A and B are shown apart, each in its own frame.
Chain A
Amino acid sequence: MNAPHNVLDVVKVNKSFHDPVTVPVLKDVSLSVARGEFVSITGKSGCGKSTLLYILSTMDTDYEGELKIDGEPTHGLSGTRLAEIRNEKIGFVFQFHYLLNEFSALKNVMLPGLKLARKSAAEVEQRAMELLKDLDVHDQALKMANQLSGGQKQRVAIARALINDPLIIMGDEPTGNLDSRNSAIVFDIFKKIAAEKTRSLLIVTHDNDFAARTDRNIVMDDGRVLL
């Protein structure tokens, strides 16, 4: 299956916040992300880059315009179907780790894989261990999530994003809450993923050094894509 289409196609997306007065946050945003591309989005605080990212992640459905993920139009799909798309095709890394504290690091990584249920629990566990090993946190696998350090948590979260071999990994300031050493580690991990050329990355960041080292940097200002 040589997918001819882009991983992500956005055509003329508009969005406004209505509370308390109508404020447009995204204005005719159009962009595409090709397979294997490492793309960053930068822009000033409040320019709408995070808002755009959450629309792209299918979690925010309150917008006008068209969004295709892997060629599939998402507008009007049911919440359950969108959840399936997120589960299968999108890996998400947040600024604040966002692991489930009640579960071990390993279980956190496994959960989306178990949800997808394409592999047996044993296979998912094996894959999760491999990912943790790749990210050098396998010795923390059985610790509870809240016993890990910030850098470790973010690496576990990246492993979780990778568990279902998604088409695209989205990050919302994934290094924003990390010290420079850990930021470098996370960036290297992203770089490694991008180098494999099988998964695209779309990272929202305000770190210009980070953005400069990606394949393509999309700059946003006041709800518009500048570059």
Chain B
Amino acid sequence: MRLLLDISFTLLRAKLKQSIIAAVGVTFSITMFVTLLGFMNGLNDLLDGLILNRTPHVRLYNELRASPEQPIDRATDSSTYNFVRSVRPKSELQRIANATGIMDALEKDPRVLAVSPRLVAQVFFNAGTVDLNGQVSGIDVGQEVRYYQFADYLVQGAPHDLASGGNNIVLGKGLAQMMAADIGDVVQVTTASGDRTLLRVVGIFQSGIADYDKVQCYASIKTVQKILGRPSTYYTDINVKLHDILQAPAMAQELGARFDVDAIDVQTANAQFETGSNVRSIISYAVGVVLLIVAGFGIYNILNMMIYEKLDAIAILKATGFSGRDVQRIFLSLSMIIGIFGATGGLIFGFGLQNVIDSIPFVTQALPTVSTFPIDYNPKYYVIAVTFALITSWIAGWFPARKASQVDPVEIIRGK
């Protein structure tokens, strides 16, 4: 086999220019493949991260709904229909009963990475004569910073200002602009039940989703409990982050049943993101594979040409004792050598091009956390690219190699 490889290399050197051109074809396609997938997945991760970073893997809450068992049902038997539904939803129902107990149980679950409670309050901001609709989320600031990248989305102010307690609030950027409020200003908040509170702005927050930033505000849990006039065990949501996001749907079902609350997993809540990511991935793979196939045709052409030019050499090799299989291996090795060199070059150039893209400035209002184009340097794409390149080279080499192995030496030698 070493002898055959040696012959392959010698033949390659004799046709160095064409071989390099064929290898450059592979290099180009691998470069594009790696860059495209890295870039596309960098974007995917960024866009998914917009939602997913700040979305719990499982959210436990109570959906507001009318009592499923109306009093009249108790008075009549099940063979009749009742249309009288008089008991409306109670606001108290939003509260998760025994939230501290549930949180304790979740903390002990080995699948759970982090548990953080939340308390959501619907409020009005009084800006002059206008009342702006808003939603204040009471958060455990430490947990949010650690597990939900809260600090990344604060464009002004620092998370610890919020954590330090007191009547502090972080406003969404859109909302702050509408109220012309800046850090240090005091805004007035009215709850649905009419209680008024004055809160000091300590930070501005930008998620990248404009509509969201016009409504969403954050305060510490204690502050929100105070605004609503609720006790310190009043929580409306428990957010759970898991070690493995793929377990979320199953966990959501399990937790919902176990604690008798509503539970939604991230995949269900954000199905459209998954779909978008998948479609983008499929497109990039398709383009990459097409590039590789084109490169494969390049190899195929050059090998075919080489075999035509080297008929004499093939005949001599066969006459002097090399079998058809040896000849086939020589030309298959040729193809694989071109493929391996091309692919190696492609990986290097691909990495380089990824770095170039990674350093191109990309500043947009919608994405406060990025300053350059995002790139996913996952080695997975390099492995896939090389695997595909080698398979393509092998197939591209196999057909010409088989043709070479079937060359009849007598025909060549006598034909001269």
Contact = CB atoms under 8 A, between A and B. Distances in A.
Among A98, A107, A116, the one with the most B-chain Cβ atoms within 10 Å of its Cβ is A98
Contacts of B105: none
B326 interface: yes
Contact of B323 (A83, A96, A172): A83
Nearest to A90: B321
A116 B312 CA distance: 21
Nearest to A112: B320
Given A87-B321, A112-B320, 6 more contacts: A59-B319, A83-B326, A87-B322, A92-B319, A98-B316, A98-B319
Interface of A: 50, 54, 57, 59-60, 79-80, 82-84, 86-88, 92, 94-96, 98-103, 107, 111-112, 114-117, 160, 164, 172
B323 A84 contact: yes
B210 interface: no
Interface of B is mostly: helix
A172 B326 contact: no
15 contacts: A59-B318, A59-B319, A79-B324, A87-B321, A96-B416, A98-B315, A98-B319, A100-B313, A101-B14, A102-B10, A114-B3, A115-B3, A115-B326, A164-B321, A172-B413
Given A83-B326, A96-B416, A102 B11 contact: yes
Among B3, B313, B316, the one with the most A-chain Cβ atoms within 10 Å of its Cβ is B316
A139 to B, nearest CB: 22
B321 A50 contact: no
Contacts of A84: 321, 323
B13 interface: yes
B1 to A, nearest CB: 11
Contacts of B316: 98-100
B325 A80 contact: yes
Nearest to A83: B323
B414 interface: yes
Contacts of B321: 83-84, 86-88, 112, 115-116, 164
Contact of B319 (A86, A88, A103): A86
